[in-house]
């Protein structure tokens, strides 16, 4: 199976988890990653700048109508939902919060399923609510690959646990093992 995109959701405890994940991604990695990290509405672009400093891929905040490119990590800007259009471009909205969040993981994941169907990988890491569980269920139903961080090692286990209440994820892994799996997929 040739996967074309990865959607990744994270909340509380995310900076540490993302650091572990992205420092273990090889420079040969090709698949674009679209990331929602729950953050305060007034946050700046610190996350993008930080991840760019530790990651071998291009890392940037997503821009409206931007074409999705390989070897790039797109981060939802603070206070904007990130969505993927059918033509594989990005869209930003200030629609109502979903799961008390903007950006919302579910909003990204659900739009990604519409654009990529079974060629999508969904990943949920540490976090304090159930945002992303509904989107992971849709990814699974479409035939995509579903991966969660092992709740036992997540700083805050609520988000990965919420996924397991809806579906049986394809993989429940430690952060380093998630990176190893992703690296093996892109070979």
27, 131, 170, 184: the catalytic one is 131
Tokens of 130: 């159930």
Active site residue 38: yes
11, 101, 104, 111: the catalytic one is 11
Q: How far is CA 154 from CA 17, 102, 169, in A?
A: 8, 22, 16
Active site residue 131: yes
Q: How far is CA 76 from CA 34, 44, 169, in A?
A: 8, 11, 24
27, 28, 38, 114: the catalytic one is 38
3-state secondary structure the chain: CCCCEEEEEECCCHHHHHHHHHHCCCCCCCCCEEEEECCCCCCCCHHHHHHHHHCCCEEEECCCCCECCCCEEEECCCCCEEEECCCCEEEEECCCCECCECCCHHHHHHHHHHHHHHHEEEEECCCCCCCCHHHHHHHHHHCCEEEEECCCCCCCCHHHHHHHHHCCCCEEECHHHHHHHHHHHCC
Q: Catalytic residue numbers? A: 11, 38, 131
């Amino acid at each position: 199976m040739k996967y074309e995109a990865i959607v990744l959701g994270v909340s509380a405890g995310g900076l540490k988890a993302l650091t572990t994940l992205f420092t273990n991604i090889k420079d040969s990695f090709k698949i674009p990653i679209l990331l929602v990290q729950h953050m305060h509405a007034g946050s700046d672009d610190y996350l993008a700048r930080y991840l760019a400093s530790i990651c071998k891929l291009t890392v940037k905040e997503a821009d409206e109508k931007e074409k999705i490119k390989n070897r790039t990590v797109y981060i939802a800007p603070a206070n904007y939902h990130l969505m993927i259009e059918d033509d594989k471009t990005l869209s930003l909205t200030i629609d109502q919060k979903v799961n008390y969040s903007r950006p919302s993981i579910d909003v990204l994941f659900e739009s990604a399923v519409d654009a990529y169907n079974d060629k999508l990988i969904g990943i949920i890491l540490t976090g304090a609510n159930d945002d992303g569980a509904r989107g992971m269920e849709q990814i699974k139903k479409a035939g995509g690959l579903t991966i969660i961080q092992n709740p036992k090692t997540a700083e805050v286990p609520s988000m990965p646990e919420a996924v397991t209440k809806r579906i049986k994820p394809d993989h429940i892994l430690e952060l380093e093992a998630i990176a190893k799996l992703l690296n093996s997929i892109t070979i």
